[in-house]
């Protein structure tokens, strides 16, 4: 008997015998992951002597991960990663585990999990077990992941092709969009395992779907297929873009963007950057360090603000903690705000977008609370920012700060700009 098969690795339908499916899976290309920072040592596929000042569970240089260990699979399992995300001190990796005549979607997480931000409770919360993997089954294909301080969100394409948002973790400020509150476990925390953000359906139009999520510290932002932006969670600094200093436990439409479809969004702390389809740039949220790029410091921007930029058409944006990054179509990177901006040790503040020297042909930018990454067209990875004992800058150092972009030692073949996650203390890239 022959079967009609169409899978994640088949671009068209093919006829196969039932026994051939195992062979097809066996020859599928498995993903390769590289990571550095907090809690990475447990999943490294090789041993290394820790440098002085580095946390015992951390790796201060890019290290190949043993994905089978993270996913709890046999060493010969074929794991195809579909999405990665990293937050304050936790990370999530979603992939398909291929075996036999089927493929199952698994969400594997590691790092802190006190609020179930990894998808469900850990087996053991004792200090010596922190960092052990938490594995959850997911119905559908995870296409994108974002992680905040103690919560996570992801876009999942169901088997019927419809996209939805799943959320988990801390909901103290409504950042999960789950209005019906309950406390999980014995800690009395408003925490949740994986739930669907059903309240989103109440505000979306016919045929409108979520395409991207971003997690700030305690709020969540959703971009839809119609270019509309919704937000929920903590709003005291204007994080929700409604014009008010109020929080919300359900998705609310960001005001002032009517008739202006948004192409991309970025948020990791308390502000959001939104890039419109027509190339215009918008900003809302905390701006006390001048990261709003308008030439002055503003305590908080409650409603979306238009940001003028004369350095060329913007290709991508990245929102950090006290800083913002812009990438132009010419491959140049601009920084604004306060901290180790990549502008050298003598320039720690910029109130307008300022060109970062030494970076050309850049294809992707990422920012987190205190650090940045840039990936160029030759797959070279550059890192800069404030160092710490997790070795988060990836250069092997502990607390040393890096004020200008520094190339990391990573095989370009292992670098994928679209499959890279940068959290506060963890970084992951998958090829």
Q: Which two tokens stand for residue 281?
A: 């740039």
Cα 39-62-343 angle, rounded to 5 deg = 105
Average pLDDT, stretch 45-54?
77
Q: Which two tokens stand for residue 137?
A: 């089954």
Q: Which two tokens stand for residue 303?
A: 């409603």
Strand residues in 225-270 grouped as ranges (E): 229-233, 248-253, 262-266
pTM of the model: 0.91
Asked if 87 contacts 148 with a C-beta cutoff of 8 angstroms, the reply is yes
Q: Which two tokens stand for residue 42?
A: 């447990």
CA distance 85 to 109: 9
Average pLDDT, stretch 338-342?
98
CA distance 8 to 95: 11
CA distance 290 to 93: 34
Is residue 28 over pLDDT 80? no
Strand residues in 329-409 grouped as ranges (E): 333-338, 349-355, 362-367, 371-376, 381-385, 402-407
CA distance 302 to 133: 39
**pLDDT band for position 11 (cuts 50, 70, 90):** very low
Is residue 128 over pLDDT 90? no
CA distance 228 to 263: 9
Is residue 2 over pLDDT 70? no
Is residue 27 over pLDDT 80? no
Cα 297-254-208 angle, rounded to 5 deg = 145
Is residue 419 over pLDDT 60? yes
Rounded to the nearest integer, the mean pLDDT of the chain is 90
Among 98-102, 184-188, 385-389, name the most confident range: 385-389
Tell me 230's DSSP state: E
């Amino acid at each position: 008997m022959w079967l009609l098969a169409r899978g994640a690795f088949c671009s068209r339908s093919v006829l196969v015998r039932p026994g051939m499916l195992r062979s097809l899976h066996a020859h599928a290309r498995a993903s390769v992951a590289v990571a550095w920072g907090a809690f990475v040592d447990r999943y490294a596929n090789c041993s290394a002597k820790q440098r002085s000042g580095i946390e015992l569970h951390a790796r201060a240089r890019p290290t190949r991960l043993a994905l089978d260990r993270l996913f709890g699979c046999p060493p010969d399992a074929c794991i195809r990663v579909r999405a990665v995300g990293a937050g304050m001190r936790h990370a999530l990796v979603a992939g398909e585990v291929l075996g036999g005549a089927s493929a199952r979607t698994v969400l594997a997480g590691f790092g802190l999990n006190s609020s179930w931000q990894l998808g469900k409770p850990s087996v053991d919360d004792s200090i010596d077990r922190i960092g052990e993997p938490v594995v959850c089954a997911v119905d559908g294909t995870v296409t994108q992941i974002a992680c905040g301080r103690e919560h996570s969100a992801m876009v999942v394409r169901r088997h019927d092709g419809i996209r939805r948002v799943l959320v988990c973790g801390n909901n103290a400020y409504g950042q999960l969009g789950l209005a019906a509150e309950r406390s999980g476990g014995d800690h009395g925390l408003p925490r949740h395992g994986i739930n669907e953000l059903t309240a989103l359906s109440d505000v979306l139009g016919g045929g409108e779907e979520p395409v991207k999520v971003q997690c700030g510290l305690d709020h969540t932002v959703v971009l839809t297929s119609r270019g509309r932006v919704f937000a929920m969670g903590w709003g005291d600094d204007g994080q929700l873009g409604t014009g008010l200093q109020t929080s919300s436990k359900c998705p609310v439409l960001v005001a002032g963007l009517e008739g202006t479809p948004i192409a991309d969004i970025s948020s990791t702390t308390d502000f959001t950057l939104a890039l419109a389809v027509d190339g215009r740039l918008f900003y809302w949220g905390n701006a006390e360090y001048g990261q709003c790029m308008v030439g002055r410091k503003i305590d908080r921007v409650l409603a979306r603000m238009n940001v003028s930029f004369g350095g060329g058409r913007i290709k991508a944006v990245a929102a950090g903690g006290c800083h913002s990054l812009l990438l132009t179509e010419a491959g140049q990177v601009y920084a604004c705000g306060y901290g180790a901006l990549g502008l050298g040790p003598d320039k720690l503040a910029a109130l307008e977008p300022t060109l970062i020297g030494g970076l050309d042909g850049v294809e992707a930018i990422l920012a987190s609370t205190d650090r940045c990454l840039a990936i160029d067209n030759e797959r070279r990875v550059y890192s800069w920012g404030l160092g710490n004992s997790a070795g988060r800058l990836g250069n092997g150092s502990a607390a040393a700060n890096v004020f200008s972009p520094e190339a990391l030692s990573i095989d370009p073949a292992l670098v994928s700009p679209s499959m890279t996650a940068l959290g506060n203390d963890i970084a992951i890239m998958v090829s």
